[in-house]
C-alpha cells in the first residue's frame, strides 16, 4: 500500500531518496531459499572478494546497519578506552550522532577547526599532544570525512599527508565515508588511490545515501589497526542475522559501476543546481544569494535570508546549516532529475528576483 506522493522531491538530504531499483532487484534475487546466518552466506563471501578487488588484498569488511554504527564500531576497535579521536568541529561523529561515540564507546573527541571542511596536518597538530600524560586522554586516531560535511573532497595527496602525520605520531587515520562514492566520482580515481594507497587505516563505507536500504560497512585496510571487530560489531548491536541482504546491497553498488554512476548523477545535479543559480545571478535575475563552499560532490551550500529560506521551505524541504549566518544546505540524490533542479531554481528566483 503506497501512502506517499512518489513525485514529491526534497533537497534536504540524500537520505530522502528511495532505494535504487537495481538494489531492490538485488534484494529480491537474494531472497530465494536459505543462506547461513550471521555472515557465513555466499553474498557476504562475495562482498569480501569484491572489497579486496577495490581496496586491496588485505582488506576485511564488516557489514553493519548504519553510519553511526560503522563509525562507533570502527573507532572503538581502533583504540583502548583511554584513547581520543581528533576530528573537525563539524564532524558527523561530533555533531550528529547523539553523543554515541562518547556514550557507547566511552572515547574522547578532541575537536579542531577546519579549512573548507577539511583537516590538515598543521590543524591536527593543535590537539596532537600530551602523549604519555596520564591527565589527558591519549590522541590515538584522526578521523576525517570524505566527502566532507560541506561537500568538499580530499585529494589523494591531502589524505596521504594526514596519514603520514598521524602515523608519525603513532596515531591511526579513520575515514568516515558516508559519501565515499560521491568522493570517488568527484576525484575520478579508484577507491584504493585515496584510501589504502594514501595510508588510511579504517574506512566507514557508506551506502544508504547512495541508494541502499540501511546498509553500510566497516572496511579495515590495515590489519593491525582494529582489534576485536568481530566481537565489537555484536556488542554494538550492528550484527545482522540475515546479513546476506546487507551484503547483497553493497555488492550491487560495485556491479556494473552502479554506485559510481549513481554518485556521478547526484554530483552532476548539484553542479547543475549551482551553475543554474550562478547563471541567473549573473543575468541579474537573482540577488542576495552567495555560495559558501565549493561544490565538489552532491551538496550546495548557500547564504540567503532566513525569512526567504523559511518561505522556500514551505514548498521544498531543505535544512539550515548555520542559521546564525543564514547558511543552508541543498543536497542532490541519485534520482534527482534536471526537472527537479529547474523547478527548484525557479522557486528560488521567485523569492530572490531582482
What's the distance, CA 338 to chain centroid?
A: 24
Range 259-352 classified under CATH 3.30.70.260: no
- Taking residue 104's Cβ as centre, other Cβ atoms within 10 Å add up to 19
Sheet arrangement for strand 60-64: 60-64, 216-220, 202-205, 172-177, 138-145, 83-88, 108-112
What is the location of CATH 3.40.640.10 in the chain?
21-256
pLDDT in tens, 305-320: 999 999 999 999 999 9
* CA distances for 300 relative to 18, 51, 82, 278, 324, angstroms: 21, 30, 38, 12, 18
Enumerate the β-bridge partners of residue 145. 176
pLDDT in tens, 315-341: 999 999 999 999 999 999 999 999 999
- Helix intervals (H) in 82-179: 92-95, 100, 121-125, 156-168
Q: Which residues of 57-86 are buried (b: 16+ CB within 10 A; e: fewer)?
A: eebbbbbbbbbbbbbbbbbbbbbeeebbbb
- Supply the CATH classification number for the domain 21-256: 3.40.640.10
What is the location of CATH 3.90.1150.10 in the chain?
259-352
Percent of the chain with pLDDT over 70: 100
pLDDT in tens, 57-93: 999 999 999 999 999 999 999 999 999 999 999 999 9
- Is the pLDDT at 122 greater than 90, yes or no? yes
**Confidence (pLDDT) at 354:** 61
Average pLDDT estimate for 264-290: 96
**Cell matching residue 94:** 561530533
Single pTM value for the model: 0.97
Average pLDDT, the chain: 97
Average pLDDT estimate for 166-193: 98
Average pLDDT estimate for 27-41: 96
Q: Are 251 and 43 in contact (CB under 8 A)?
A: yes
**Confidence (pLDDT) at 1:** 87
- Is the pLDDT at 110 greater than 90, yes or no? yes
**Confidence (pLDDT) at 353:** 84
Q: What secondary structure letter does DSSP report for 137?
A: P
- Is the pLDDT at 143 greater than 80, yes or no? yes
Amino acid at each position: 500500500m503506497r501512502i506517499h506522493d512518489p513525485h514529491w522531491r526534497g533537497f534536504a538530504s540524500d537520505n530522502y531518496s528511495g532505494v535504487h531499483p537495481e538494489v531492490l532487484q538485488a534484494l529480491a534475487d537474494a531472497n530465494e531459499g536459505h543462506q547461513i546466518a550471521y555472515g557465513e552466506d555466499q553474498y557476504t563471501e562475495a562482498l569480501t572478494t569484491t572489497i579486496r578487488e577495490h581496496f586491496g588484498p588485505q582488506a576485511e569488511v564488516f557489514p553493519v546497519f548504519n553510519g553511526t554504527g560503522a563509525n562507533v564500531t570502527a573507532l572503538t576497535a581502533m583504540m583502548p578506552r583511554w584513547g581520543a579521536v581528533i576530528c573537525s568541529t563539524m564532524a558527523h561523529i561530533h555533531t550528529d550522532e547523539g553523543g554515541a561515540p562518547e556514550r557507547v564507546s566511552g572515547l574522547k573527541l578532541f575537536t579542531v577547526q577546519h579549512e573548507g571542511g577539511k583537516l590538515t596536518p598543521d590543524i591536527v597538530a593543535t590537539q596532537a599532544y600530551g602523549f604519555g600524560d596520564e591527565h589527558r586522554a591519549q590522541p590515538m586516531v584522526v578521523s576525517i570525512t570524505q566527502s566532507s560535511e560541506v561537500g568538499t573532497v580530499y585529494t589523494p595527496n591531502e589524505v596521504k599527508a594526514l596519514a603520514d602525520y598521524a602515523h608519525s605520531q603513532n596515531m591511526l587515520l579513520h575515514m568516515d565515508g558516508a559519501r565515499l562514492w560521491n568522493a570517488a566520482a568527484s576525484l575520478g580515481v579508484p577507491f584504493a588511490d585515496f584510501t589504502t594507497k594514501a595510508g588510511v587505516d579504517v574506512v566507514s563505507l557508506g551506502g544508504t545515501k547512495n541508494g541502499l536500504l540501511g546498509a553500510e560497512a566497516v572496511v579495515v585496510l590495515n590489519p593491525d589497526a582494529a582489534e576485536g571487530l568481530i566481537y565489537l560489531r555484536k556488542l554494538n548491536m550492528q550484527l545482522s542475522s540475515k546479513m546476506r541482504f546487507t551484503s547483497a546491497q553493497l555488492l550491487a553498488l560495485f556491479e556494473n559501476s552502479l554506485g559510481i554512476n549513481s554518485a556521478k548523477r547526484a554530483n552532476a545535479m548539484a553542479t547543475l543546481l549551482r551553475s543554474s543559480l550562478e547563471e541567473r545571478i549573473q543575468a541579474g535575475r537573482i540577488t542576495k544569494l552567495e555560495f559558501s563552499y565549493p561544490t565538489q560532490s552532491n551538496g550546495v551550500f548557500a547564504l540567503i535570508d532566513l525569512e526567504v529560506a523559511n518561505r522556500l521551505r514551505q514548498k521544498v524541504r531543505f535544512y539550515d546549516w548555520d542559521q546564525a549566518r543564514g547558511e543552508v544546505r541543498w543536497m542532490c540524490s541519485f534520482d534527482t532529475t534536471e526537472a527537479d533542479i529547474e523547478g527548484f531554481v525557479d522557486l528560488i528566483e521567485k523569492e530572490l528576483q531582482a
